[in-house]
C-alpha cells in the first residue's frame, strides 16, 4: 500500500490543482511500480507561510520581499 505525503505552502492551491496532484502521483506510482491505484494513498498537507522557511528566513518574509516559487 503506497503512501505519499505532499507538503506545500498554503498559498491558494485550488481543489482542482490538488485533484491533479492526487491523480498524477497515483498514475505515476501505478505505472512505475505496478501498484493498485485503489490501495494508493496521497495526502496533501498545507503549511502556513510563517511555518515554512529556507535560506534562514520564513517564507512569509521572502514573499514580502518578492521571492516566489513560480516557474520562470
Residue of 2, 30, 49, 63 with catalytic role:
2
Give catalytic status of residue 37 as yes or no.
no
What is the bridge-based pairing of β-strands 57-58 and 53-54?
antiparallel
For the chain, the residue count is: 72
Greatest distance between any 2 Cα atoms in the chain: 44
Hey, which residues are catalytic here?
A: 2
Amino acid at each position: 500500500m503506497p503512501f505519499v505525503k505532499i507538503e506545500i505552502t498554503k498559498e491558494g492551491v485550488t481543489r482542482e490543482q490538488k485533484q491533479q496532484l492526487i491523480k498524477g502521483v497515483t498514475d505515476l506510482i501505478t505505472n512505475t511500480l505496478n501498484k493498485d491505484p485503489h490501495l494508493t494513498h496521497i495526502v496533501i498537507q498545507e503549511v502556513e507561510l510563517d511555518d515554512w522557511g529556507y535560506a534562514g528566513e520564513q517564507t512569509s518574509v521572502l514573499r514580502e520581499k518578492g521571492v516566489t516559487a513560480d516557474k520562470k
